Structure formats: structure tokens, C-alpha cells
């Protein structure tokens, strides 16, 4: 058989992937390790009875199985290289040889088909030394079919060989895998695919720009068959000279320059220009789904260059654009890039179930342009990271509050770990705990809305007792005027509001702010009237006070004393509860 790269064009059209199918082990691009192992096995007469070829689609599994069958049966084989000229080689290449049986596992997957195979496997080969069964997509066989094949596969008749091809080896039972020699076919490098396409273009007498070859090779994602199918379509679509623009027009994709310009504007937060670029791309024929795929691949490339993985190839743009991607990654940072990548990935999932894809992509682009605020969060976290038990804080969130400027509490974003409650001492033993003062080298912070999240987190650090557990439940701290701090609690946290609204605790808060900012402030506790009210419990019968009680039994109980202090109450009654006995109520 003549080399298809040097043969003239056939009068009848044949799919390119079939016309240029590899005919020897050396022609299987990107799978040199498999070819070398099979050739050595044939040379040394160590051919196994069963092989499993697994890998992605279009990487040469079935082609390698046919070449292996020719190398076993060709009467003119030399050094495990078939002649590709004899009747046996022609029959195997066309799939018509009587001794090489190709079976589609998806169509012949039942136990009856395997029973027929078992009946025929004992029939001697007609003209060739070996009888070869090639089962494609073997993972599609049923469980019963696999079980019926086990004994035959383990002890086949002499000179009978099995070659199984699959894209999903994980679906093949372990009992089958253990009886086969497994070869994993890897994806093919982009440069190797481009080189093969260049040879095909020369054989067909077509002029194709290098940029177009590289673009088709990238689009194939490691599959030689996909690249040849796309290239065949491209040759029919274009003229005498195939350009990069022809590829983009055929695929409905955007050029590299447009992708780079788009993300330049996203990083610079020029949202109007971002949406205008998207509109121009769609108007010029760019397909929305393909464009979203390109954006996801582009963010993947930004992530790759941001971590300094120089040896990892780019998949969205050419290697010539790597310096520009490096500059973009330095402006954005790995955290923002990963967040943007998550946004577009989520949008891709949602686009599969909705019909309003364009507004969703536009929303995603705008949200990506807002991600620069993550840098502020990172800086705030870094400022408190060195302090044990520091509370991560978020960017201040403005709330419509007049005349005060309300700021979201850091505790509303991330709750601080609760400190274990300390035993409550008697009133006579309680003494105000002095606030921790910063080191002399620490500069004073400006008492302002912009600095408030950091200030409040440092205030919380000065409370390691039960007071902190109540302070973190406040949802807002509003700076009302220059010297007034308003601490707002939801209506459902009335207990915490009552606890914090004590003169001694408010003074400790004011002292802590004075240490941090150098500003004397007054503190006031208020209730958020817009928050939901707590559920009203049904009224319970009034318990008559019992004057005769044993005070000594509860005077030293720390929990009772804490409740008495919080509610400014007194003990009304003391009852002994016997576990397991019914109540008198």
C-alpha cells in the first residue's frame, strides 16, 4: 500500500482520518512507548494473549491494534514492520480480513454475542498464523458478557490474540484487567498534531498558515482524529490559502488579540468597554458558548503563568502571547484569578440549563471586573494574621443609616471562636479588667469608617472573657459623629444587648478604642428595629415566691450568680429536682 501522504488524491472522497490512518508503529504520533513495547514483544516472541489499549478518543488505539495484527500476520514482515503491500495487510487495513475480527462493543454487548465469539474462537485461522479479535469500546459489554468471556480470555486456543480498546478503563471489571497487558495512550502534544497537519496539507497541495495549523492543533485538545476531522472541514471551507481568520470563522471563536484585550479591560475595571467588546464579538459571528469556553481556558492559562509554571503549555492563546499574560497575572494575582475562574465555571454550568446565556455571560464579566476588591480583603487579613485568634475581616459595607455611617461587623462575616466561659465571681470580687495596650512602636489608627473593620477586630482581641461572646453578636457598629460609637444588636439577641449595655463594659470598649486610635469616644447600645422580633413564648403560670429557701445552696453557684447579675434579679425559689421522678406540675 502506498504512503497516503505521497499518493494522489482519490477520485472518491474519503474521510481524512481514514485516508491518513497510520500504517506502522512509527506513524502513530505521540505513542512511541506503546509501539516500542509491542515491536519488542514481537521480536522476542513474547506476545501476550490479551492486551488492553486505553486512552482518550482519537489518540491511535484502534490504529495501533490493526498495526499489531498486521505485524503478527503479514507474510513479509521485517523487524515487526508490516509491508503494507500484500493482500493480508490490505485486508486488515480495510477491516475485511477473515482472521482479524473487529467487534464493536457497543453494538455487540450481550451475552449471546460473547457466546458466538466463544464458539468461533476455536475455529482455526484461514490463512494467517494468528487469529486476532479487536473489540472496540469494550467497556460497553454487559456484566454477563464479561463473565462469559473470562475463561476464554484466560486460556484462549493457541495463536488467538485479543486486543481490547476503551476510553473508560475504569468501567472494565478487575477480573478482565488482571488478564490483560495494559497500555495507556496519552494525549498528543500540540506541536506533534500541527506537524502532522502540515504534512497532510502538503500532500493535498494546500497552503495553510502556521497560525492556522497551531490553532487547529490547540482546538483538538490532544486528539489526532479530532484535529484531522476539523482540518478536513477547514480545507473544504477555505480557499487556496487557509488563514487563521478562516479557522476562527469556522469555529465561531474569537482571535487571541480580542481575548487579551477583553481581559485587559476586565482587570482595569473598564466595564463599559468590556461589554462593548463582547457585543462586537457576537456581532461578528463569535458563538457565545465557544467564547465562554475560551474565557475559561484563558483564565486557566492566567493561573498557570501566575504560579510560574513555564513548562506547561497554553491552551487558549499562542505561546507568543505568554509575556502579556504574565503582566496580567501580576496585576490581578492568583486569588483573584481563581475567583474569576470559579465565576465563569459556574456560569458555564448554568448556561446548559437556561436560554438567556448572553445576560449571564455579561453579568459574569461585570462580576469579574469587581474582583479587585479581594486585594483589600487580603491586606486586612494580613494585618491581623500575626495576632492569635484574629478575626478575618471583610471590606466595609455601607448601610443606609442617617446621619450615622454604619459598617458591617467583621463578626457578621466570620465568627470568632468562642472563648470558654470563666467562673463568675461574687460582686465584691469583680474588678474591671484593664484593656491591653499596644506596644509603644504601634502607630495610632485613624478613627474612621475606612479603618473601622480593623479597629473593631483589635477591640475584640482585648476581650477574652464572656464579654466577647456577646460582642461578636452585634451586626453593626455605626460611627455617629466624631466621638460616638453606636453598637447595634438584632432584636433576637436581647440578652447580649442587655449584657453589653453596662457602664463598666462600655467603658472598657471606649478604653480599647482610645488605646488603638487615641480618640475619646462614647459608646451607646441600640436595637435594630428592622430585624425580626423573637418568638413569643406562651405565658406560663406565675410561680408564687417562696420566702423560706436555702440561700446557701445557690449563693456560690457561678451560673446562678451570672444570671442574677445580667438581669438584676433575685432568686425566687430553690427546688430540688429528682431525676426520673414526675414533676408536681
364 & 441 share domain? no
Half-sphere exposure of 270 (CA within 13 A, CB side): 11
Please report, for the domain that includes residue 458, its CATH number. 3.30.300.180
pLDDT of residue 498: 86
pLDDT of residue 398: 36
Instruction: Give the C-alpha distances (Å, rounded to integers) separating 510 from 150, 407, 442, 484, 521.
Output: 81, 18, 19, 10, 6
324 & 394 share domain? no
438 & 488 share domain? yes
In a domain, 16, yes or no: no
Whole-angstrom Cα distance, residue 508 to residue 523? 10
Considering 185, 200, 215, which residue would you say is the last residue of a domain?
Answer: 185
In a domain, 142, yes or no: yes
pLDDT of residue 481: 67
Name the H helices within 307-405: 322-332, 334-351, 357-369, 374-385
39 & 145 share domain? yes
Whole-angstrom Cα distance, residue 436 to residue 456? 14
Between CA 225 and CA 237, with CA 231 as vertex, the angle to 5 degrees is 145
In a domain, 215, yes or no: no
3-state secondary structure of 134: strand
Considering 369, 400, 429, which residue would you say is the last residue of a domain?
Answer: 369
In a domain, 226, yes or no: no
100 & 176 share domain? yes
467 & 522 share domain? yes
401 & 280 share domain? no
In a domain, 321, yes or no: yes
3-state secondary structure of 401: coil
Rounded to two decimals, the pTM is 0.60
149 & 268 share domain? no
Please report, for the domain that includes residue 264, its CATH number. 1.20.272.10
φ, ψ for residue 489 (rounded to 5)?
A: -115, 145
- 172 neighbors 166 (Cβ within 8 angstroms): yes
pLDDT of residue 376: 56
408 & 303 share domain? no
pLDDT of residue 406: 42
- Taken as a whole, the chain contains a residue count of 585
- Cα-Cα-Cα-Cα torsion 195, 217, 203, 33, nearest 10 degrees, comes to 50
pLDDT of residue 386: 54
Instruction: Give the C-alpha distances (Å, rounded to integers) separating 433 from 461, 462, 463, 508, 581.
Output: 13, 10, 9, 8, 44
351 & 266 share domain? yes
Three state DSSP letters for 191-210: HHHHHHHHHHHHHHCCEECH
Whole-angstrom Cα distance, residue 393 to residue 377? 7
In a domain, 514, yes or no: yes
pLDDT of residue 68: 94
Total of domains in the chain = 3
DSSP element (H, E) containing 88: helix 87-94
Please report, for the domain that includes residue 98, its CATH number. 3.40.50.300
In a domain, 294, yes or no: yes
Three state DSSP letters for 44-84: CCCCCCEEEEEECCCCCHHHHHHHHHHHHHCCCCECCECCC
143 & 45 share domain? yes
Tens place of pLDDT per residue across the chain (585 aa): 444 444 434 445 567 778 888 999 998 998 999 999 999 999 999 999 999 999 999 999 999 999 999 999 999 988 889 998 999 999 998 888 889 999 998 888 888 888 888 888 888 888 888 999 999 999 999 999 999 898 888 888 888 999 999 999 999 999 999 999 999 999 999 899 999 999 988 888 888 889 899 999 988 888 999 999 888 888 888 777 888 888 998 888 999 999 999 999 999 999 999 999 999 999 999 999 999 999 999 999 999 999 988 888 899 998 899 999 999 999 888 989 999 999 999 999 999 888 889 999 999 999 999 886 555 555 556 655 555 454 444 444 333 333 344 444 444 444 444 444 444 444 444 444 554 444 444 567 777 777 778 888 888 888 876 788 888 888 888 777 667 888 888 878 888 888 888 888 888 888 888 888 888 888 888 887 776 666 555 544 444 444 444 444 566 676 677 777 766 677 777 776 554 444 444
In a domain, 564, yes or no: no
36 & 94 share domain? yes
Residue 159: which domain range?
31-185
Considering 476, 505, 528, which residue would you say is the last residue of a domain?
Answer: 528
Whether the bond between 403 and the residue before it is cis, its omega within 30 degrees of 0, is yes
E runs forming strands in 142-215: 160-166, 181-185, 207-208
Amino acid at each position: 500500500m502506498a504512503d497516503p501522504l505521497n499518493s494522489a488524491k482519490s477520485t472518491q472522497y474519503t474521510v481524512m482520518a481514514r485516508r491518513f490512518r497510520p500504517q506502522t508503529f512509527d506513524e502513530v504520533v505521540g505513542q512511541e512507548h506503546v509501539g516500542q513495547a509491542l515491536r519488542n514483544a514481537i521480536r522476542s516472541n513474547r506476545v501476550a494473549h490479551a492486551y488492553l489499549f486505553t486512552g482518550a478518543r482519537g489518540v491511535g488505539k484502534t490504529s495501533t491494534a490493526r498495526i499489531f495484527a498486521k505485524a503478527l500476520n503479514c507474510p513479509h514482515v521485517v523487524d515487526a514492520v508490516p509491508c503494507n503491500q500484500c493482500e493480508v495487510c490490505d485486508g486488515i487495513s480495510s477491516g475485511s480480513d477473515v482472521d482479524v475480527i473487529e467487534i464493536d462493543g457497543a453494538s455487540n454487548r450481550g451475552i449471546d454475542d460473547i457466546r458466538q465469539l466463544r464458539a468461533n474462537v476455536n475455529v482455526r485461522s484461514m490463512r494467517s498464523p494468528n487469529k486476532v479479535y479487536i473489540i472496540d469500546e469494550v467497556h460497553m459489554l454487559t456484566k454477563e458478557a464479561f463473565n462469559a468471556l473470562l475463561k476464554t480470555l484466560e486460556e484462549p486456543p493457541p495463536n488467538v490474540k485479543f486486543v481490547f480498546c476503551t476510553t473508560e478503563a475504569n468501567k472494565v471489571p478487575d477480573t478482565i484487567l488482571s488478564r490483560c497487558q495494559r497500555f495507556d495512550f496519552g494525549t498528543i502534544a500540540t506541536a506533534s498534531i500541527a506537524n502532522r497537519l502540515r504534512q497532510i496539507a502538503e500532500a493535498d497541495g494546500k497552503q495553510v498558515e502556521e497560525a492556522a495549523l497551531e490553532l487547529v492543533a490547540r482546538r483538538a485538545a490532544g486528539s489526532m482524529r479530532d484535529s484531522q476531522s476539523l482540518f478536513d472541514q477547514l480545507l473544504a471551507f477555505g480557499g487556496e490559502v487557509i488563514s487563521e481568520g478562516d479557522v476562527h470563522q469556522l469555529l465561531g471563536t474569537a482571535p487571541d488579540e480580542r481575548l487579551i484585550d477583553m481581559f485587559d479591560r476586565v482587570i482595569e475595571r473598564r466595564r463599559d468597554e468590556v461589554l462593548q467588546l463582547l457585543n462586537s464579538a457576537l456581532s461578528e459571528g463569535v458563538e457565545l458558548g465557544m467564547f465562554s469556553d475560551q474565557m475559561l481556558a484563558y483564565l486557566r492559562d492566567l493561573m498557570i503563568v501566575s504560579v510560574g509554571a513555564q513548562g506547561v503549555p497554553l491552551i487558549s492563546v499562542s505561546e507568543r502571547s505568554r509575556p502579556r499574560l504574565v503582566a496580567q497575572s501580576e496585576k490581578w494575582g492568583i486569588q483573584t484569578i481563581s475567583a474569576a475562574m470559579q465565576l465563569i465555571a459556574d456560569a458555564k454550568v448554568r448556561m446548559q440549563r437556561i436560554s438567556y446565556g448572553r445576560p449571564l455571560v455579561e453579568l459574569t464579566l461585570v462580576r469579574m471586573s469587581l474582583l479587585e476588591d479581594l486585594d483589600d480583603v487580603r491586606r486586612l487579613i494580613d494585618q491581623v494574621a500575626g495576632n492569635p485568634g484574629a478575626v478575618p475581616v471583610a471590606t466595609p459595607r455601607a448601610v443606609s443609616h442617617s446621619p450615622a455611617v454604619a459598617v458591617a461587623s467583621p463578626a457578621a462575616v466570620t465568627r470568632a471562636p468562642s472563648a470558654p466561659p470563666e467562673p463568675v465571681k461574687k460582686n465584691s470580687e469583680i474588678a474591671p479588667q484593664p484593656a491591653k495596650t499596644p506596644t509603644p512602636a504601634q502607630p495610632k489608627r485613624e478613627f474612621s469608617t475606612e479603618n473601622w473593620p480593623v479597629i473593631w477586630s483589635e477591640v475584640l482581641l482585648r476581650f477574652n472573657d464572656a464579654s466577647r461572646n456577646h460582642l461578636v453578636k452585634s451586626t453593626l457598629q455605626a460611627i455617629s459623629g466624631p466621638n460616638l460609637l453606636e453598637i447595634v444588636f438584632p432584636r433576637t439577641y436581647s440578652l447580649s444587648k442587655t449584657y453589653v449595655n453596662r457602664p463598666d463594659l462600655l467603658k472598657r470598649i471606649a478604653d480599647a478604642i482610645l488605646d488603638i486610635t487615641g480618640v475619646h469616644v462614647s459608646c451607646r447600645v441600640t436595637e435594630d428595629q428592622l430585624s425580626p422580633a423573637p418568638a413569643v413564648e406562651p405565658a406560663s403560670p406565675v410561680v408564687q415566691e417562696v420566702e423560706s429557701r436555702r440561700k446557701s445552696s445557690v449563693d456560690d453557684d457561678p451560673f446562678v450568680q451570672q444570671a442574677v447579675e445580667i438581669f438584676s434579679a433575685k432568686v425566687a425559689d430553690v427546688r430540688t429536682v429528682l431525676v426520673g421522678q414526675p414533676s408536681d406540675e
